[in-house]
Amino acid sequence: MKSLLFSLLTSLILFSCSTPAGNGLQDLSATDFQSALQTSPAKQVLDVRTPEEFAGGHIAGAISADISSEAFQQTADALDKNKAIYVYCLSGGRSSQAAQQLVSMGFKEVYNLGGGILAWNAASLPLSTEIGAPIQQAGMTLTAFETQIKGKKRVIIDYNATWCGPCKQLSPILEAYVKDQKGAVELIKIDVDANPELAKAKNIEAIPYLELYQNGKLTWKNVGLIGREELDKL
């Protein structure tokens, strides 16, 4: 009896992990997302970033459907609602919004890439350009980054992107804090879109992301929007 109960429980767990939740939406890790794409008989993959981001490198087979434009609705309307659809962006925020919209449109199975392209890169998974060639990593290298902070007494690194709303909210808070330190703290801003190699090397999966280095050593980090009170505790 115990063996039977264990088998039933195991089957239920496996089933729940391999199918979307009751609302038809499920977040997947980068490796699970890739595995699902490789085994999916009919691939419907939406890249909901901007066309410029898409052109810089995307998951092979994806369709560009910017969530901030009419292209998203138009593209989604042309797809089969009875087949699984996979959606992603840079860090997961825009794709979560898109995934919810797809569910409301009647798609039965919607899979969202948790952490987006940042998580995909951190897992060392391949990206493609328009012609399907592997994307060339660009921007600052980890070695160049370490050289940049070497010898600095206190420096805050702000990893951000131009499209990131929370990043824009955080920026003036950081700038005001650094100004009030009267030269005791330096602020360095790094756009993760422009520096994918560094973002991958540091396993950045969400933004805004902050780091504090003191004499070249990482002493504090934070993911997400924070207020001035948290910075004053540093």
Beta strands in 3-108 (DSSP E): 25-28, 45-47, 63-64, 85-88
Cis peptide before 51, with omega less than 30 degrees from 0? no
Contact status, residue 192 vs residue 204, Cβ threshold 8 Å: yes
Q: Where are the domains of the chain?
A: 20-122, 142-231
Catalytic residue among 167, 185, 210, 231: 167
Tell me the C-alpha distance between 173 and 186, whole Å: 14
122-131: pLDDT as tens digits? 999 999 876 4
The architecture of the domain spanning 142-231 is: 3-Layer(aba) Sandwich (3.40)
Tell me the C-alpha distance between 126 and 128, whole Å: 7
The pLDDT of residue 219 is above 70: yes
Q: Identify the band that residue 77 occupies on the pLDDT scale cut at 50, 70 and 90.
A: confident
- Among residues 34, 144, 138, 25, which one has the least CA distance to residue 85? 25
Rounded mean pLDDT of 165-188? Answer: 95
In this predicted structure, which of 86-100, 142-156, 163-177, 214-228 has the lowest mean pLDDT? 142-156
User: First vs last Cα of the chain: how many Å apart?
Assistant: 57
Tell me the C-alpha distance between 69 and 11, whole Å: 42
pLDDT at 2: 43
Contact status, residue 24 vs residue 82, Cβ threshold 8 Å: no
pLDDT at 177: 96
Catalytic annotation present for 89: no
The pLDDT of residue 1 is above 50: no
pLDDT at 179: 95
29-43: pLDDT as tens digits? 999 999 999 988 778
Which one is the CATH code of 20-122: 3.40.50.970, 2.30.30.830, 3.30.160.270, 3.40.250.10?
3.40.250.10
Catalytic residue among 76, 84, 87, 164: 164
Catalytic annotation present for 167: yes
